[in-house]
């Protein structure tokens, strides 16, 4: 198709978008031409294409309606000692201070025994949500009669995972009766309608397991409904399957990471404070995050800076990881910091407990050449190893952030790291960048200070 203008629909809406039908059917070139007519963007979109056609095709196939690639920097955190094993951890993130912060903490704790991590659980879950109209006891009895047959029906889907040691670990029926029956405003079919769940637990070995879990749940749902209607036991009753889907809330897929040392070992000549005072202020910072939602959110955001960056570098679903972390942070009914600390018998102890449902096989993990490399860099970890590495990185980021916050403040280091971005935004030359780094080494960095500095040095020339 050379001219796609006939595809445009008449403009009937406000806003910067241009209405079109059938965009997904156009070739990539045509999609870009379509955008280019309105946004003059061909050059920038093509600039980030990969010259290697096979690689570009692979990237395009990860998504839909692709028009370019959006590169992010990949940095590495060396010297992270976890359970006496040394790791180099790849982080994909655009916030420069995160890599620096994790690296600094990793170095600091390497000589104090490193991070100790453990897996507290590996179970994930999923639900078939349904509405049942009828007597509760009758469905309960029926479920127990057919439960094994339902599992048997799903066995072709379960086989491979069971061979690897995982599979469907339990299946229950739950009557979710916040009220006795569903309000008729929600479900008008029958006055005796209940919201019911078939609640399944899974173990998925080294896979994140989303496709496996969803396929099994859909099979269980079909099997349940078929048996319900074919049994001849339910003449007046109804079973309406609403949806079948894994839960991204995985509180039983849990990992713990901890560091500890004598309080006296926290002494740092770079900070103007005794080790005892630092430990106490640090403790207060974690206490504040346990008690104030505004601070807890930022505290956890810092932890997720590290964890999301490893999710990305390994091709894991960082949205799922994020959603779960914040749900877990509020599991007590109050949103809290995910990490905590204490001082006990002269010892400083700092730990993090977080659910992390991630995989090292399947999905993008081995398809994206850089995820593959990331896993290689970390010694091709099992999913349980990756959970521990991610928790350790989260803890390292959090330690560095709290250390800065309760001592010098965050802006000093942050703005130094940001200096390069600012210089780039003023199109500074290499010489200017070197001179500016030197100039700002003992000064406060701010956008206006950098602008003034460049204005001054440029008028001298």
Residues at the contact surface with ligand MEV, assessed by CB under 6 A: 95, 298-299, 301-302, 305, 401, 405, 410
Phi, psi of 85 (to 5 degrees): -105, 135
Give 349-418 as a DSSP string. Answer: EEEEEEE----SBSTTTTTSHHHHHHHHHTTS--HHHHHHHHHHHHHHHHHHHHHHHHTT-SHHHHHHHH
User: What is the nearest approach in angstroms of ligand MEV to the Cβ of residue 93?
Assistant: 9
| Chain position whose Cβ is nearest to ligand MEV | 302
| Residues facing 194 on adjacent strands | 132
Distance CA(44)–CA(48), nearest Å, equals 7
User: What is the nearest approach in angstroms of ligand MEV to the Cβ of residue 120?
Assistant: 24
User: What is the nearest approach in angstroms of ligand MEV to the Cβ of residue 396?
Assistant: 12
* Closer CB to ligand MEV, 102 or 454, in the complex: 102
User: What is the nearest approach in angstroms of ligand MEV to the Cβ of residue 298?
Assistant: 4
**Does residue 124 carry a catalytic annotation?**
no
Catalytic position from the list 308, 317, 385, 432:
317
Distance CA(317)–CA(14), nearest Å, equals 34
Catalytic position from the list 110, 301, 326, 382:
301
* Closer CB to ligand MEV, 384 or 398, in the complex: 398
Distance CA(122)–CA(136), nearest Å, equals 32
**Does residue 317 carry a catalytic annotation?**
yes
**Does residue 322 carry a catalytic annotation?**
no
User: What is the nearest approach in angstroms of ligand MEV to the Cβ of residue 414?
Assistant: 7
**Does residue 3 carry a catalytic annotation?**
no
Catalytic position from the list 95, 240, 265, 292:
95
User: What is the nearest approach in angstroms of ligand MEV to the Cβ of residue 343?
Assistant: 20
DSSP single-letter state for residue 292: -
Quick one: which H or E segment has residue 126? strand 124-133
* Closer CB to ligand MEV, 139 or 296, in the complex: 296
Name the residue among 97, 37, 62 with its Cα closest to residue 403. 97
CA distances from 423 to 32, 96, 438 (A): 31, 14, 13
Beta pairing class for 339-344 and 238-247: unpaired
Catalytic position from the list 28, 112, 233, 414:
414
* Closer CB to ligand MEV, 57 or 298, in the complex: 298
* Closer CB to ligand MEV, 233 or 414, in the complex: 414
* Closer CB to ligand MEV, 260 or 404, in the complex: 404
CA distances from 157 to 53, 153, 298 (A): 35, 9, 41
Active-site annotation, residues: 95, 301, 317, 414
């Amino acid at each position: 198709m050379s001219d796609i203008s006939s595809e445009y629909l008449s403009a009937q809406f406000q806003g910067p978008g241009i209405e079109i039908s059938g965009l997904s059917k156009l070739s990539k070139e045509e999609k870009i031409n379509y955008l280019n007519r309105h946004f003059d963007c061909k050059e920038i979109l093509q600039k980030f294409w990969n010259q290697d056609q096979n690689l570009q095709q692979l990237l395009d196939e990860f998504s839909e309606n692709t028009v370019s690639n959006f590169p992010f920097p990949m940095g590495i955190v060396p010297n992270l000692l976890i359970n006496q094993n040394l790791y180099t951890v790849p982080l994909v993130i655009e916030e420069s201070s995160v890599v620096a912060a994790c690296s600094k903490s990793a170095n600091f704790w390497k000589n104090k025994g490193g991070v100790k991590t453990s897996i507290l659980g590996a179970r994930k879950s999923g639900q078939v949500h349904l509405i049942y109209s009828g007597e509760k006891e009758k469905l309960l009895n029926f479920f127990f009669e057919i439960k094994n047959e339902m599992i048997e029906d799903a066995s072709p889907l379960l086989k491979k995972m069971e061979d690897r040691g995982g599979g469907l670990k339990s299946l229950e029926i739950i009557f979710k009766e916040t009220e006795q029956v569903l309000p008729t405003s929600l479900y008008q079919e029958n006055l005796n309608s209940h919201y019911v769940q078939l609640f399944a637990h899974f173990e998925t070995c080294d896979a994140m397991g989303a496709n496996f879990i969803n396929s099994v749940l859909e099979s269980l749902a079909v099997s349940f409904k078929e048996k319900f209607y074919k049994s001849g036991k339910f003449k007046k009753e109804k079973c309406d399957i609403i949806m079948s889907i894994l839960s991204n809330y995985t509180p039983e897929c849990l990992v713990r990471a901890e560091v500890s040392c004598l309080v006296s070992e926290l002494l740092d000549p770079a900070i103007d404070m005794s080790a005892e005072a630092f430990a106490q202020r640090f403790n207060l910072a974690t206490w504040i995050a346990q008690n104030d939602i505004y601070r807890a959110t930022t505290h956890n955001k810092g932890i997720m800076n590290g964890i999301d960056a490893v999710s990305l570098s390994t091709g894991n679903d960082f949205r799922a990881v994020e959603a779960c972390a914040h749900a877990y942070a509020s599991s007590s009914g109050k949103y809290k910091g995910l990490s905590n600390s204490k001082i006990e018998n002269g010892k400083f102890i700092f730990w993090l407990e977080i659910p992390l449902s991630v995989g090292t096989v399947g999905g993008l993990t081995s398809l994206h050449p850089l995820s593959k490399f990331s896993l290689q860099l970390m010694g091709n970890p099992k999913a349980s190893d990756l959970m521990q590495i991610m928790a350790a990185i989260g803890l390292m980021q959090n330690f560095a952030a709290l250390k800065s916050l309760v001592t010098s403040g965050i802006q000093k280091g942050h703005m130094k790291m940001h200096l390069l971005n600012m210089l780039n935004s003023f199109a500074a030359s290499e010489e200017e960048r070197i001179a500016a780094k030197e100039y700002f080494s003992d000064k406060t960095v701010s956008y206006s200070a950098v602008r003034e500095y460049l204005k001054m040095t440029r008028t001298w020339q």
